[in-house]
Amino acid sequence: MLRFRRMRSLQKFAAVHASVLNHFNQERSLSSRRHFKISRAAALAEWRALCTA
């Protein structure tokens, strides 16, 4: 956090980081491997679609 010179930059980073983390964070211990891999593939496909738009 000390690398950010302005509070606004830190807030922007935190907002983006939180949305990306929520998108990819899957509670691995609560699901089967098959379900985890399917969810992970769907999240990655959606992320790639957002990045290419």
Q: Is residue 34 part of a domain?
A: yes
* Helix residue spans in 1-53 (DSSP H): 7-24, 33-52
Mean pLDDT for the chain overall: 77
Domain assignment of residue 12, yes or no:
yes
- Look up the domain containing 28 and give its range: 7-52
Instruction: Please state the rounded mean pLDDT for residues 35-53.
Output: 83
What percent of the chain is predicted at pLDDT more than 70? 79
- Give the per-residue pLDDT at 11: 81
User: Residue written as tokens 């907002």?
Assistant: 15
**Would you state the pLDDT for residue 35?**
84
Q: C-alpha angle 26/29/35, rounded to 5°?
A: 60
Domain count, the chain: 1
DSSP 8-class letter at 2: T
- Please report whether residue 25 resides in a domain: yes
2 in any annotated domain: no
1 occurs within a structural domain: no
Q: Is residue 44 part of a domain?
A: yes
Is position 47 within any domain? yes
